[in-house]
C-alpha cells in the first residue's frame, strides 16, 4: 500500500470513527435502547463464535513454528524448544476457543429452556462448560484435524517460504498479544456497565469519556470488536496481492458486522465497539509498519 493510500485510509478512519465517537457521547444510550434484542439469533451466533480470530491466529502461528522446527532437527535444542512452544500455543489456544464456544452455546440453550432471552450471557467469565471427557475428546479430534491440514499445507512450502511464514507468525502473535493486553487493561480501568447490566432507571450509565476505575464491569472497549478487527491479520499470511486485498477487506467487513451484532445483543454500546475497532486497527498498523521496516524485502511475503 502506498503512502498516499495509507494517509487516505487514516483520514477516513479518523473522520468516520471520530464522528461516531462524538455521536456516541449523546446517543449511546438511545441507540442501544432502540436496537437491543436479547433474542437476536444474529447477535447470539456472533457472540458465540465471533472471537475466532484471536485464537486461530495463535493456532496458525503455533503450527508454523512446529513445521519450521521439524526442518531444523540438526539443531535439537532450538528445534525441540520451538516445536514444543508451537505445540503448546496452538493446542492451548484451540482449547480456550472451544471453552468459550461451549460457555456461550450452553448458556443460550439453558436460557431458551427456562424462557430467558437466548443472548443473555456473561461476557466476562465462563459460566457453563461441557463435561471434562466430552470437552477433551472434542478438542483432541479438532486439534488433530487442524494439525493434519496445516502441516500438509506447510509441507508443500519450500524452506524460504516457510521462513517467511515464521517471521509473519512472530509479528502476528505479538500483534494479537499486544491488542489483548491493551484491551483488557482498558476494560478494567474504565469499569463501564454493559447495556444489559443497566439498572431499571438506567442511572448507572456513564458516557465513554468517563472512566470509573476497577469495579468488575468491562463494557469499554469491546473484546469481540477487537477480535473481529484482528481477523485482518489473516491477510498477512496470503502470498498473492489479490488474495491479501480480499482477506483484508473481508476482515474489515467482518469486524463491522461483529461490532453491530454486539450492540444488538446488548453487550456493548456504539462507543465500545467503535473505540475498540480504531484502537485495534492502530495496533495492527503499527505492527505492520514495524514488519516492513525491520524485515528485508527478500524475507517478506
* Cβ(56)–Cβ(97) below 8 Å: yes
Note the pTM of the prediction, 2 decimals: 0.94
Q: What is the pLDDT of residue 75?
A: 94
Q: Treating both helix axes as pointing N-terminal to C-terminal, what angle do 159-190 and 52-70 enclose, rounded to 10 degrees?
A: 150
Q: What is the pLDDT of residue 123?
A: 65
Q: What is the pLDDT of residue 64?
A: 98
pLDDT along the chain (301 residues), means of 10: 80 92 97 96 95 97 98 95 97 96 93 90 73 94 98 96 97 98 97 95 95 95 97 96 96 97 96 97 95 90 85
Task: Compute the C-alpha angle 275/281/282, nearest 5°.
Answer: 90
Query: CB neighbours of 118 closer than 8 A, spacing ≥ 6?
Result: 38, 39, 41, 44, 108, 111, 112
Cell of 59: 493456532
Q: What is the pLDDT of residue 126?
A: 59
Q: How many domains does the chain contain in total?
A: 1
Query: CB neighbours of 169 closer than 8 A, spacing ≥ 6?
Result: 60, 61, 64, 65
Which residues constitute the domain of residue 143?
3-299
Q: What is the pLDDT of residue 61?
A: 98
Q: What is the pLDDT of residue 129?
A: 84
Cell of 107: 448458556
Q: What is the pLDDT of residue 237?
A: 97
Amino acid at each position: 500500500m502506498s503512502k498516499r493510500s495509507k494517509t487516505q485510509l487514516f483520514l477516513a478512519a479518523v473522520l468516520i470513527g471520530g464522528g461516531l465517537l462524538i455521536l456516541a457521547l449523546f446517543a449511546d444510550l438511545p441507540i442501544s435502547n432502540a436496537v437491543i434484542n436479547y433474542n437476536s439469533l444474529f447477535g447470539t451466533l456472533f457472540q458465540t463464535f465471533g472471537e475466532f480470530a484471536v485464537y486461530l491466529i495463535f493456532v496458525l502461528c503455533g503450527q508454523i513454528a512446529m513445521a519450521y522446527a521439524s526442518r531444523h532437527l540438526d539443531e535439537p535444542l532450538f528445534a525441540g524448544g520451538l516445536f514444543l512452544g508451537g505445540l503448546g500455543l496452538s493446542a492451548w489456544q484451540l482449547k480456550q476457543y472451544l471453552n468459550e464456544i461451549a460457555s456461550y452455546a450452553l448458556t443460550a440453550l439453558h436460557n431458551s429452556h427456562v424462557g430467558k432471552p437466548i443472548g443473555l450471557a456473561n461476557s466476562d467469565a465462563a459460566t457453563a462448560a461441557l463435561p471434562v471427557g466430552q470437552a477433551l475428546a472434542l478438542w483432541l479430534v479438532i486439534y488433530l484435524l487442524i494439525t493434519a491440514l496445516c502441516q500438509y499445507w506447510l509441507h508443500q512450502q519450500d524452506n524460504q517460504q516457510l521462513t517467511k511464514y515464521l517471521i509473519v507468525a512472530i509479528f502476528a502473535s505479538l500483534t494479537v498479544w499486544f491488542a489483548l493486553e491493551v484491551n483488557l487493561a482498558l476494560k478494567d480501568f474504565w469499569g463501564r456497565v454493559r447495556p444489559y447490566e443497566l439498572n431499571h432507571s438506567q442511572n448507572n450509565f456513564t458516557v465513554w469519556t468517563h472512566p470509573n476505575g476497577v469495579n468488575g464491569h468491562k463494557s469499554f472497549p469491546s473484546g469481540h470488536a477487537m477480535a473481529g478487527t484482528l481477523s485482518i491479520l489473516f491477510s498477512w499470511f496470503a502470498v498473492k496481492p489479490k488474495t491479501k486485498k480480499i482477506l483484508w477487506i473481508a476482515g474489515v467487513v467482518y469486524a463491522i458486522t461483529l461490532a453491530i451484532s454486539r450492540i444488538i445483543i446488548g453487550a456493548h454500546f456504539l462507543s465500545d465497539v467503535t473505540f475498540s475497532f480504531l484502537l485495534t486497527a492502530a495496533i495492527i498498523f503499527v505492527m505492520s509498519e514495524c514488519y516492513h521496516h525491520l524485515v528485508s524485502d527478500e524475507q517478506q511475503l
